[in-house]
Structure 1
Amino acid sequence: MYKQDAFAGGEVPAVPGTVPQRSRLRNFLARPRVRAILREPLTHFLLFGILIFLVAHGIEARSKRYTIDVGPADVTRIVNSFEQQYGSEPDPVQIRTMIDNYIREEIYLREGLALGLDKNDEIVRRRVAQKYDFLQQDMAVPREPAEAQLRGFYASHRADFKLPERRSFDQVYFSIDQRGEDAARSLAEIALAKLDRGEKAAGDEFPGPPVVSNLSQEEANRLFGGDSFAPHVFKAPQGRWTGPLRSGFGWHLVRVSQIEPSRARSFDEARGDVRLAWIEADRQARNRVAYDELRRRYTINGADRP
């Protein structure tokens, strides 16, 4: 016995002892009980209903695939994003342009997903994971700590609530924008020698305050920039000119005039900061628990870890 090969156009021998699929189906439909069921009007009704459902489902899916709803909430979100970025309200033309851009982005996204462009893309994977992480964190409603919890947290993290050392200092500044790197440093070294002899020395006008008062090291780092300026200021001796020190602006000579040592705060002084720190620690702990519960749903293969 031979059967036609639909692809090659030739004939191939059938496997002995097997019944072709068409023959099996024909034999099944020829059974009296099956033929009786197929003649029933109810069967016709059910088959027709299934056909209508499949067609309607396909049409609905296609309709949703090519439908983009831009509602008031979407417009509000677009406008708010513009205001946060530029600090002003967009005009009607800008709003229309942003809505058109949103629609274009949504169309490109759907077409890209339909082509599977999101598969095996490290950037897309990371962005989706980050978005889920943010969503999970937003779902965790902050809890208010009890008094005993606050005091216990303060006792175990007392060092975190110390007041930092603060310093005030005078400065003579030399701008690298006006003079260049090498010239500004050389002038600072000459000025330091004068100051050490008790003479006066003038520099350039600093864009910030000439006399800096009561700054912590972190605040000094934010104000002056650079990697080494603030650490050197907070190691400098009091009452003596030191430098030249490089900041994000140029070269400085610094004389520390006042030092307020770091000190521990009492619980009552630090209560507000203790509460915020407890809420953040509690949020992180609950996020870890949520992740552990989520991970237990998965079987991880090939991730041998100590």
Structure 2
Amino acid sequence: MSNAAQTFEGASAHANPRDGHSALPAPARSWGTALRALAREPLLHFLALGGLIFAADAILHPPAKDEKVITVTKALRQSFIDTFDEDKQRTPSEAELQKMVEAWVASEILYREGKALGVDRGDEMIRDRVAFKLQYLIFDQVRVPKPSEEQLRAWFTENHARFDEPERVSFLITPPSDEATAKRHLDDIREQRESEELRDQTRAILDRPVPSLSAAFGDQFGEGLLKLPTQQWTVLQSKDGWHVVRLDARTPGAPAKFEDLRDDAAKIWHTEETRKQAWEAVSRLKANYTIRYEP
């Protein structure tokens, strides 16, 4: 039996005209008992409190008129169509498109209401998502004109190192150790008495771009490796320790030709120019703010 029904029965059993009050008609007693039972329900209290909070917030922070207007643009609908099928085998039906639109509208409503109540404050995930969305909108608004042939050639000349084929090296290298251990390993390798463990731990590095050697092994190692004759074991120091090294091959680099890479250069130029203009737009927004750094 429900709490409300039990309360009703208890009230009816103890109703007595001699207590100075007239007994209520059955319907009135039912409604009164039910209301008292509901008043004790925690869920009702929670809903009432929530309603008060929303009402108070609406009074203290009335929304601007445009905050209650949600516009489903043609561009938005087209974006749903474009992302519906990655393989572009079919477009969504009207019913499928409407479901996606309704889901977006519901999400937009929840976001606006939550933001109005300040639930985004202190939440880094929401902050990052909002920032990313604005960043996307800024990038979407940037319109970069097609560069002239002279502009693209000049840019390619300034950035030719990014397109040139670098010199490459192939070499064998043992794990890092102290200098004495590396020299002992060198003697063992030269006498062909190195341990099976050392052979298993020796790595073959193939066609490694020379410009990447410094970052991986240190400047001293890269410079020393390029001075070595091929097919000769020696010890070299890297930023991690001492190694036994054998240079096996060097492949010279080749300068890039603009005619061969024009399309790639144009794509990279467009990406960088878009990023540059988007950052300039952010900088203009930044001019409206005062940035303070705590000591």
TM-score normalised according to structure 1 size: 0.44
TM-score normalised according to structure 2 size: 0.46
